[in-house]
Amino acid sequence: MTLIKFNKLTTYFFLFLISFTGLTAEEIKIEREQSIKSTTIIRNRLGWVERVKIFPEDIDIEAKLTPGSEGNALHATDIKEFTSNGENWIRFETQDKFDKKIKLERKIISKRKYITSKGKKEKRYIIEMEFCIANKYIKNNFSLSDRSMFEYPARLGRDVLAGLFIIDPGSTKTTKPNCKKRS
C-alpha cells in the first residue's frame, strides 16, 4: 500500500513540475507561424494595394482594397454611349499600372444618378468586369467615375473581398494575378 501511495505522490510531484514547464521560445515561434499559416489557408492574405488583371483584354492595373466600402469603382474618363445589337454599351478610357491610357468597351448594367455634396447631379455607369486577383477569378460590378485625383485607378469593396481575402494594412502588392482564364 505504501508503495502505491508513494507512486501517486511522485506522479503528482512530476505533474506539479510539468505545469511550470511551458514551451521554449523557439517552439512558441513555430506554433505561431503554424497558426498564421492555418488562417492563410482558409483565406488568402493580401496587402491593401494589389495587382489586378482585367479580362479579356489582359490589362494589369493596381487596385486599392477597401473593406470600408461595399462596391467596386474604376477610373473612367471620356465615356461615350453606343448601341450594339440593340444593347446599350459604353466606351471609356482608363489607366493601367504604367499610367498608359486604355480604351475599354463594356455593356451597361445600369445607370445611377448621384447628387454630390456640392449639389451637382452626376450620372454613374455600372458595368460588369471580369478580373483576376491573386489566384481568384472574379466577375463583379464596377461603378465608373473620374478617379484621376486618386492614386489608384480601381477600388475593390467588401462585396468582392468578403470570404476570400484577409487584408494586411501594413503591406502592398504581395501577389501577382495568377488565374486560368474563365476557370
Partner 1 sequence: MKIFFLLIFLLMANPIYANSDTIIIGWLERVVLKPANIVMHAKIDTGADNCSVHAKKISYSKDDTGHLIASFKVQNRYGESKTIKRKVIRTAKIKTKVGGLQRRPVVSIGICIDTIDEYIECNLVDRSHFDYPVLLGRNFLASNVLVDSSETYLTEPKCRKVER
Binding site for partner 1 (CB under 8 A): 7, 10-11, 14-15, 18-19, 21-23, 28, 31-32, 35-36, 39, 43, 45, 48, 64-69, 116-118, 120, 149-150, 155, 157-158, 161-163, 165-170
Q: Considering the complex, what minimum distance in angstroms separates the CB of residue 30 from partner 1?
A: 10
Q: Considering the complex, what minimum distance in angstroms separates the CB of residue 141 from partner 1?
A: 16
* Residue (of 152, 130, 153) closest to 141 by Cα position: 130
Task: Report how far Cα 159 is from the mean position of its chain's Cα atoms.
Answer: 10
Q: Considering the complex, what minimum distance in angstroms separates the CB of residue 71 from partner 1?
A: 12
- Of the pair 23, 109, the CB lying nearest partner 1 is at 23
- Of the pair 18, 87, the CB lying nearest partner 1 is at 18
* Residue (of 82, 83, 99) closest to 148 by Cα position: 99
Q: Which residues does 132 contact at the CB level (< 8 Å), separation at least 6?
A: 52, 53, 55, 138, 177, 178, 179
Contact 120, 17 (CB under 8 A): no
Hey, what's the cell of 49? 494595394
- Of the pair 91, 158, the CB lying nearest partner 1 is at 158
Q: Considering the complex, what minimum distance in angstroms separates the CB of residue 160 from partner 1?
A: 8
